[in-house]
Amino acid sequence: MMQIQCLFSPAARQLIDLSLTLREGCTVFDAVQSLKLCPELHDHLKVLETAIEDERGLGIWGRIVQLTADLKPGDRLEIYRPLLVDPKMARKKRFKGQGKGRTGLFARRRLGAAAGY
């Protein structure tokens, strides 16, 4: 038998930390199936299913893994929520609100320099 840690954040500023005991040679899929039986996650099964369907919804120690990945004793299985906002769009919106005069390359401009340098 082996112990793994499972972290799941169903919403912002919420964290569910579970310790699972699984048989040797289990895969991520086996761990997820046992997670579905945990009473702590009963209210969050819809979010859990969404994470499983997303190809980037599961990770071990911060690295994205597939359901077929093998688990080792002491692994930390992480279940990720889908992004609510596209990061590129959020950055564009922030940049548009701040204006180009105060950010990044445009913060201090040399006299006579070409635009963007």
State how far the alpha carbon of 5 is from the alpha carbons of 71, 112, 117, in Å.
Answer: 11, 58, 49
Measured between alpha carbons, how far is 32 from 113 in angstroms, rounded to an integer? 57
* Cα 111 to the center of its chain, rounded Å: 44
Give per-residue pLDDT as tens, 69-100: 999 999 999 988 877 888 888 888 887 766 65
The fourth-level CATH superfamily of domain 2-79 is: Beta-grasp domain (3.10.20.30)
Q: What are the domain boundaries of the chain?
A: 2-79
* Cβ burial 62-94 (10 Å sphere, 16+ → b, else e): eeebeeebebeeebebbbbbeeeeeeeeeeeee
pTM over 0.85: no
Give per-residue pLDDT as tens, 7-61: 988 888 888 888 989 999 899 989 988 888 888 877 878 777 877 777 788 999 9
